[in-house]
Amino acid sequence: MFRRFSISVRVFSILVLLVLFVGGVVAGFYSNSMKIKDIGLENLNAEMLEGQKVKLKVASDALAHTLGKALKGLDGEERDEKARSLLEGFVFEEDGSGYFFVARKTVLVAHLKASLVGKDLGQTKDKNGLLFMGELAQKAASGGGYVEYVWPKPGAGDQPKLSYAQKIPGTDLWTGTGVYIDNIEARKLEVAGVIEDNVSRNTTVILGVVGSLLVLVVIPLSWLIVRSVVGPIREATQASQDIANGDFAVHVDESGRDEAAQLAKALNAMASTLATNIEEINAKTEEAENKAAQAEIATQEANEAKAKAETAKAEGMFQAATRLEVIVERISAASEEMSSQGEEIRQGTDVQSERIASTATAMEEMNATVLEVARNSAEAAQRGDEARQEAQDGARVVGMSIEAMNTTRDQAAELKDNMEVLGQQAESIGAIMTVIEDIADQTNLLALNAAIEAARAGEAGRGFAVVADEVRKLAEKTMGATKEVGDSIRSIQGVASQNIESMDKAVRDLEKAVQLTHESGEALQRIVAGVEDSSQQINSIATAAEEQSATSEEINRSVDEINRITSETAAGVAQSAEALRDLSEQMSELSTVVRELKEEGSV
């Protein structure tokens, strides 16, 4: 498609595309710069707003803490007056729009505007309908928080404002402060102006540099390159047209090391080669004409020699026919002898083939028998391996059973020892309960004595008699409980004794089971050893059978090879016989030809 346009047009098209590409890059740079500016301004706005929030919170918390200490011990109007005096004239921000105020619920106690002091702003709404004073009071009561609302700014009208409220500790007051958000917006616009100025300046510089490079470097350089390419190509084109018209004396300027110079060298070499080839073609044409004349003379001489040869032919044919007749007779006799020998060889090979076939059949039957033995041996070896594996698994299970029984025996012995200790502890508890029972008896006796003495004392000892009676009842309950505990302990001792006897019996039974299991394990080990020996012997038989099978197969292959060679020999003999028959027929024909030659030679 591009070959329809000249090289200069194509090169300048590349230049135009380059200019468009550079313009697109610059436009993309400007667009991305504007997007980056917008993202940066959004982040800046968020960071500045967060910074203002932190500033408001820190300032409000610090002021609330300070006012709490300053107003401690004061109440009523005295406390309110103290708060107003502390905040009087206290402003911040460059335009003085930042200030602090103090309120009790929604009533202002201290404010920068004295006209608002004492007013209840609970029902005052901003232009969006928000009861901002109530919201601030709720935030302060809940530990502090932010509220955004619209409030008049001196010299700027209604503006969005962000405030923070915090309760003053130790009082029923709270303090708040705020900043106008238009200050943040103004700062953002200022930063946006700086960024746009920088982007515009950088874009202008880039466009100026790129435009200068295009005008001063790229365009002149492109023109020179086009000229250096198109000029030699035009010269080479003219030279090619001259060569096509038959002018081989052309010469193209070969100066330079570019492709155009190489093309010029190739054109000059082509013109020189074509001129040399034309000269050689003319010389060869002249030489061919001379050779054609010589060939015509030689043809005449050959015709004369042919006539002389015809005369000598008849004389030589008779002599040759006589000699051929003798040779034909000898060949016929030899072919007849070879035919009889070939028949004998064919008969011998037929007998040999029959015997070899019988041998091959016998070898195949023997090989099948050997393979059957090898297969049965392999199956027996496999079953022996399976039996050995099962015996080993049984021995391993028996070993695990022995270990488990040993563990159970040890645990039973330990349990027996624990039961003995339990019996001893129960006996100790029984002794202690005997002591407690004795103490209860003594307490009961003492209570009876005390009751008797109280009865003797009359009215004065009545209260003591009641106490003594209660002590006696407690002693009786103690004796009853002690008896029940003693019965329980004796039951425990009886059960412990029975458990000890049962554990002794269990330990003895486990020891017998361990012994029997150990003997079973040894028997399984012996079985495993016997199975392994049998498996090894069966494997040896299988290996020998496989080796015998391999040998039989090798012999069978040899017999097949002999049979094949014999068949080939028989086929060769048959072919030889056929060839001898053909030779005999040809000898007959040759005899006929010899007779004809003798007849022609004798004419």
What is residue 109's three-state secondary structure?
strand
Residue 427 reports pLDDT greater than 80: no
For residue 105, the 8-state DSSP code is T
- CA 284 from chain centre, in angstroms, equals 76
Q: Do domains 10-215 and 248-603 have the same CATH topology?
A: no
Closest CA to 15 of 218, 160, 200, 262: 218
Is 597:359 a contact under the CB 8 Å cutoff? no
Other C-beta atoms within 10 Å of 468: how many?
21
CATH architecture of 10-215: 2-Layer Sandwich (3.30)
| C-alpha dist (Å) from residue 599 to 164, 477, 586, 595 | 150, 170, 20, 6
What would you report as the CA-atom Rg of the chain, rounded to the nearest whole angstrom?
Answer: 67
Give the type of residue at 270: M
Within the chain, what is the greatest distance between any pair of CA atoms? 202
Is 100:111 a contact under the CB 8 Å cutoff? no
For 579-595, how does the pLDDT look when each residue is reduced to its tens digit (9 = 90+)?
A: 657 766 766 776 676 66
How much is the pLDDT for 176? 93
Please state, in angstroms and rounded to a whole number, the distance separating the CA atoms of residues 443 and 449: 10
**Structure-token pair, residue 453:** 């003495």
For 134-188, how does the pLDDT look when each residue is reduced to its tens digit (9 = 90+)?
A: 999 999 999 999 999 988 887 778 888 899 999 999 899 999 999 888 777 777 7
How much is the pLDDT for 101? 92
Is 29:203 a contact under the CB 8 Å cutoff? yes
Is 451:465 a contact under the CB 8 Å cutoff? yes
Closest CA to 422 of 306, 335, 509, 430: 430
Please state, in angstroms and rounded to a whole number, the distance separating the CA atoms of residues 577 and 346: 9
Range with lowest mean pLDDT among 17-31, 148-162, 224-238, 399-413? 399-413
Task: Sort 548 into a burial class: Cβ within 10 Å, 0-12 / 13-18 / 19+.
Answer: middle
Out of 49-63, 273-287, 320-334, 464-478, the most confident range is 49-63
Is 476:444 a contact under the CB 8 Å cutoff? yes
For 204-263, how does the pLDDT look when each residue is reduced to its tens digit (9 = 90+)?
A: 887 788 778 777 887 787 777 777 766 777 777 777 777 777 776 777 777 777 666 777
Please state, in angstroms and rounded to a whole number, the distance separating the CA atoms of residues 584 and 333: 9
Is 553:366 a contact under the CB 8 Å cutoff? no
**Structure-token pair, residue 76:** 């009523």
Q: Which three-class secondary structure string do you get for 446-512? A: HHHHHHHHHHHHHHHHHHHHHHHHHHHHHHHHHHHHHHHHHHHHHHHHHHHHHHHHHHHHHHHHHHH
- Between 347 and 299, where is the model more confident? 347
Give the type of residue at 142: S
pTM above 0.75, yes or no: no
CA angle 95, 100, 102 (to 5 degrees): 155
Task: Sort 442 into a burial class: Cβ within 10 Å, 0-12 / 13-18 / 19+.
Answer: exposed
| C-alpha dist (Å) from residue 582 to 19, 327, 335, 438 | 93, 17, 10, 147
For 91-117, how does the pLDDT look when each residue is reduced to its tens digit (9 = 90+)?
A: 887 777 888 999 999 999 998 888 888
Which residues, other chains included, contact 529 with Cβ-Cβ below 8 Å and sequence gap of 6+? none
CATH number of 248-603: 1.10.287.950
Helix (H) or strand (E) segment spanning residue 169: none
Helix (H) or strand (E) segment spanning residue 157: strand 157-167
How much is the pLDDT for 363? 47
**Structure-token pair, residue 411:** 């645990």
Is the CA virtual torsion 369, 372, 376, 377 positive or negative?
positive
Please state, in angstroms and rounded to a whole number, the distance separating the CA atoms of residues 292 and 314: 34
How much is the pLDDT for 168? 92
CA angle 228, 233, 234 (to 5 degrees): 105
What is residue 102's three-state secondary structure?
strand
Please state, in angstroms and rounded to a whole number, the distance separating the CA atoms of residues 235 and 237: 5
| C-alpha dist (Å) from residue 131 to 111, 149, 172, 209, 246 | 18, 9, 20, 60, 107
How much is the pLDDT for 167? 94
Is 102:74 a contact under the CB 8 Å cutoff? no
For 372-396, how does the pLDDT look when each residue is reduced to its tens digit (9 = 90+)?
A: 645 655 665 566 566 567 656 655 7
Closest CA to 18 of 276, 222, 156: 222
Is 222:11 a contact under the CB 8 Å cutoff? yes
Please state, in angstroms and rounded to a whole number, the distance separating the CA atoms of residues 234 and 223: 16
**% the chain with pLDDT above 70:** 46
- Between 346 and 34, where is the model more confident? 34
Range with lowest mean pLDDT among 44-48, 311-315, 535-539? 311-315
- CA 580 from chain centre, in angstroms, equals 79
Average pLDDT, the chain: 71
Please state, in angstroms and rounded to a whole number, the distance separating the CA atoms of residues 346 and 342: 6
Residue 267 reports pLDDT greater than 90: no
How much is the pLDDT for 136? 92
Please state, in angstroms and rounded to a whole number, the distance separating the CA atoms of residues 536 and 530: 10
What is the crossing angle of helices 7-70 and 76-87, to 10°?
140
**Structure-token pair, residue 489:** 């302990």
For residue 165, the 8-state DSSP code is E
Query: What are the sequence ranges of the domains in the chain?
Result: 10-215, 248-603
DSSP bridge partners of 162 = 148, 179
Residue 83 reports pLDDT greater than 60: yes
